Amino acid sequence: MRAALGSTRPLVVRTALVADPGDLLTRLPAAAPHAWIRHGEGLVAWGEAARVSVPPGPGRFDWARDWLSSVFAGAHVDDEAHAPGSGPVAFGSFTFDPASPGSVLVVPRTVLARRDGRAWLTTIGEGRLDEITAPRDPGRISYGDGSLTAPEWEHAVAQAARRIRSGRLEKAVLARDLTAVAEHPIDVRVLLSRLAGRFPECYTFSCAGLVGATPELLVRRTGETVESLVLAGTTPRGTGPADDAARGAALFASAKDRREHACAIDSVRRTLAPLCAELKIPEEPELLVLPNVQHLASPVTGHLSAGLSVLDVVAALHPTAAVGGTPTRTALQVIRELEGMDRAGYAGPVGWIDSRGDGEWGIALRCAQIEGAHARLFAGCGIMGDSDPAAELAEAQAKFRVMQYALEG
């Protein structure tokens, strides 16, 4: 199934350098905004020059790459910026499970971007600056259980830990969901503004109703350079500086969390090594301190083999051990058996790609799927053989607070 472009003629794309637009998120109209922002830089977009629902299945990334090639082929591009994210760009969100429907690619009609001290505006056809209306607060929020209650999810964690201790697998990541209903239809711009302001170190994103602020960069491609940030191992923030430091030190010394992190690093190493002429991975993780949690983090860089786009690397990396488990096939089967839900876009790749193959893709964590006044929130934890269900539930609740803050302010 392919999307109609509304015309058989090639895209006419114009990218012009513009004065600094200030806060990019304040330039978004209310209707279906797309965004990828970190520390105030990135891209915001609206309108649709092309859109497609990517068919589920093991070949979905190849299908998506071919569709994008057909859309970008023959485009008439006038590009003053000549930078990653200039010219025609597609935003995308892929479901975690390849068998699940819901993956989507959108080529916006208008993109406003800022990077490294320069800003530009890209329009396709009659792309325009739509009228900006004042964002509306969603009002009172009511929460309910998702697919599993808290005790049911703790039982699933205990089952996963038993299977790990039996030797069936080394690690499994289990997610849970919450439902939320707002007093008014949820304005995605409100969520984006709150997330970007509170979590500037994260990648605040919006694509096809999936909104969040992920700390985990799956891959960035700039020319032949690729970068990834591996996160695995988490602890909540402390009640004060001393408690915070103690929690960070305990996380760094935790055998369970260090094993979990090692699984994630090994997964990325095995995947990226065949794609790169050179790969650099630190020997020790560092602490990434966010407003709500601390993570063990390892930045990875590589020199990509010629001819591979960022989407090719996404296809190779997903799912990482950080969101699936080890070994991958067994962990995915355990997830399907124990979670009791379809993750949809949660823990799947989300991001953007331009016509040169450059782009940035994160793992859709700390996120919610928004539809009208309804939201479905997600959080997940890495389960090891010695995991404590109550502690894992507390970690998931800490991760839920990101989107609860975005909804409630």
Structure tokens at 117: 């001290």
Distance from C-alpha of 164 to C-alpha of 321, rounded to nearest angstrom: 14
Whether 216 is catalytic: yes
Q: Of 171, 392, 395, 399, which is the active-site residue?
A: 171
Q: Of 216, 339, 392, 395, which is the active-site residue?
A: 216
Which residues, in sequence order, are bridge partners of residue 349?
Answer: 363
Which residues, in sequence order, are bridge partners of residue 142?
Answer: 181
- The full 3-state SS of the chain, as one line of letters, equals CCCCCCCCCCCEEEEEEECCCCCHHHHCCCCCCEEEEECCEEEEEECCCEEEECCCCCCHHHHHHHHHHHHHCCCEEEECCCCCCCCCEEEEECCCCCCCCCCEEEECCEEEEEECCEEEEEEECCCCCCCCCCCCCCCCEEEEECCCCHHHHHHHHHHHHHHHHCCCCCEEEEEEEEEEEECCCCCHHHHHHHHHHHCCCCEEEEECCEEEEECCEEEEEECCEEEEEEEEEEEECCCCHHHHHHHHHHHHHCHHHHHHHHHHHHHHHHHHHHHEEEEECCCCCEEEECCCEEEEEEEEEEEECCCCCHHHHHHHHCCCCCCCEECHHHHHHHHHHHCCCCCCCCCCEEEEEECCCCEEEEECCCEEEEECCEEEEEEEEEECCCCCHHHHHHHHHHHHHHHHHHHHC
From the number of C-beta atoms within 10 Å of its C-beta (0-12, 13-18, 19+), residue 371 rates as exposed
Distance from C-alpha of 406 to C-alpha of 279, rounded to nearest angstrom: 37
Whether 256 is catalytic: no
* Catalytic residue ranges: 171, 216
